[in-house]
Copies of this chain bind each other. A is one copy, B any other.
Amino acid sequence: MKIHTINFQPHNISIDIPQGESILRGALEAGVHINASCGGEGVCGKCRVIIENGTVADGISERLTREDIDKGYRIACQSVVESDLTVRIPVESSVEAGVLNLRKTPRQTAKIKQTDLNDLKEQGLFVPPVEKKYIELPEPSAEDRLPDVTRLVSFLKLEQGEHRLMVSLPVIRKIPDILREDGFKVTATLERPVQKGRKTHIINVQPGDASKDNYAIAIDIGTTTVYGQLIDLISGEVISETGDFNGQISYGEDVISRIVFAEKSDGLEKLHAVIVKTINGIIHKILKKCGCAVENISSITLAGNTTMTQLLLKINPRYIRRSPYVPAATLYPPIKAVDLGIELNEHASALVYPAVSSYVGGDIVAGVMGSGMYLTDKLTLFLDIGTNAEIVIGNTEWFACAACSAGPAFEGGGLEFGMRATKGAIEDFSIDPETLEPMNICIGNVRPKGICGSGLIIMVATLFEYGIINNLGKFDRDLDTPRIRENDGIYEYVLAWKKDTQIDRDIVLTEIDIENLIRAKGAIYSGCVTLLEEVGMSIQDLDQIILAGGFGSYVDLEKAMTIGLLPEVDPGKITFIGNGSLMGAKMSALSNHIRKNVVEVTKKMTNFELSETASYMDHYIAALFLPHTNLERFPKLQARLAQRKKNR
């Protein structure tokens, strides 16, 4: 990825940005405001800039005259960076030059942890649970009448040192013909035991040498979305991936309504069938993308919350929602994928991540495994933010975990114009504190359709820091702008006028939306604080924070601290792992050590029921402010707010 530097004038602020990004994105990252209402589609033409040096592609619009273009004017949202640039922001596009102390702070995102295959390899942990071995067996004769299965097993034992081998009936059925298809040259697929001392299963035999075609599938079953990856077990690389909505959505948006549905007659069967259908669709897509034969998929690992897992396994989740909220099981036996209705070959095994409790499920355990949290001595806060937020605190020795209901705000749900982080969602935002004009950036550089979770956090943080809303999330009634208005008694800010949107309506952020966000972030923050207290610790003791969840990679960490979602810590301590559940599913496909360790790890995980912890409600109520009743917990923000006050 080629990186270019843009120098913005007259601010004289430089920023490094990957080739192919827009100048508008660069400005936002740099904290340089450019008015931009239309979200990046070039419709409003407000984001005019002058290219003083360097090359851009595109950036030409009907809103520019021939003369403008000759002078170097371009539309920032449409200009694709192709070299180092010097870009001047003309007065009409920018805040008053020189008011640099009012500039948007540069975006500060968490470092992103990728699964480090090299790490795994260096530690000797890149040992997939499923291995293929090509072998050439001696043919039977009058002097050597070993039964076919014994011939295979004995050879693997004597020539390859494979002990304790087990062959299931479906494989036995295949062996005689397969052995004879290519003169007793075969590829055997071995699945290593999860537990020490148990058997290695020969789960498949193929004629000839098929040892280089060995793949696994990893699936994250979210309540809303399901993601899948196809993993090459020889290279360790992800070959293709995709996601889709969980087909169960039409039977209820959240876990509780799914459980209610499952209790109806046939409800469990329906929900089971629907999630299996979703998974099969994903498998079909990721195989099609890369032309991989289903025969060569040896395993599928799946992670999901406890309810999703029970529905997948067709275990009635009835008692999950009834006091005292016990799940049917937290460990699940190994099973064949076909036995769940998953359309893989008969030999493919399904590994389902174990859970801790009814509300701390396999998705979180997968995150703990995938993030490497289970290996570190550092005191770590693991935070997976979605409709439910799950919190794990601990290190390699112990883990305390809890779940709290955050509501759907972080996934763009429950907002007047909320949407998932897809094309047309406003995902980044700034505002001119003088004119109160917005700078919207939409996913896909198209006109806005709504607001996604990460965009919401940035908006509320920005509005609060500029004093446009107060610490209760209410708009300053004295501000004089058509963008802040009262509608049915509710105050709202117009992010984009009807004509600049895709939906032919004004897109607004209302005080109710802000209230939802405050409740959601309050639940999470107080959950973290309560759980830390329960184990006798505080935020200051944390060595690192690992963030997981769909929106996390775009979260501006300073903004998340500004609203009080995250405690105020050194951003360098924060790592983002994206979809932790998917990462854990992938890691256990790549490393049998992780499969082996997972049960031990769950045994070290102690569940805390926040709703039954007396202090939780107090912490929650104290957190229903921006950022918190006690501003002193956020000293850097406190200092910034004081500085702004002084500057006015």
Contact = CB atoms under 8 A, between A and B. Distances in A.
Contact of A167 (B146, B149, B329): B329
A353 to B, nearest CB: 15
B142 A314 contact: no
Contact of A145 (B198, B314, B315, B324): B324
A315 B140 contact: no
Contact of A329 (B141, B150, B324): B150
A147 B330 contact: yes
B169 A328 contact: no
Interface in A312-368: 313-316, 318-319, 323-333, 335, 339, 357
Contacts of A330: 147, 149-150
Contacts of A313: 169, 172-173
A326 B169 contact: no
A147 B324 contact: no
Contacts of A612: 142
A607 interface: yes
Q: What's the number of copies of this chain in the assembled complex?
A: 2
A166 B599 CA distance: 14
A327 to B, nearest CB: 5
B169 A335 contact: yes
Given A147-B327, A316-B177, A332 B172 contact: yes
From A149, A198, A357, A612, name the one whose CB has the most chain B CB atoms within 10 angstroms: A149
Nearest to A319: B176
B166 A326 contact: no
A175 interface: yes
A148 interface: yes
Contact of A176 (B166, B175, B316): B316
A328 B142 contact: no
Interface string A154-167: 00000000000011
The A contact surface, by secondary structure, is loop
A197 interface: yes
A28 B638 CA distance: 115
A235 interface: no
A53 interface: no
A328 B145 contact: no
A346 to B, nearest CB: 12
A168 interface: yes
A140 B324 contact: yes
A318 B175 CA distance: 12
16 contacts: A144-B324, A147-B328, A148-B319, A148-B328, A149-B330, A150-B330, A167-B333, A169-B315, A172-B313, A172-B332, A172-B333, A173-B314, A176-B316, A176-B319, A176-B328, A177-B316
The 7 A-B pairs with the shortest beta carbon distances in the complex, nearest first, are: A149-B329, A176-B328, A147-B327, A147-B330, A140-B326, A172-B329, A148-B328
Interface of A: 140-142, 144-151, 166-169, 172-173, 175-177, 180, 197-198, 313-316, 318-319, 323-333, 335, 339, 357, 607, 609, 612
Given A145-B325, A180-B319, 20 more contacts: A140-B326, A142-B323, A142-B324, A142-B609, A145-B324, A145-B357, A147-B326, A147-B328, A147-B330, A148-B329, A150-B329, A150-B331, A167-B333, A169-B333, A172-B328, A172-B332, A173-B313, A176-B328, A177-B318, A197-B197
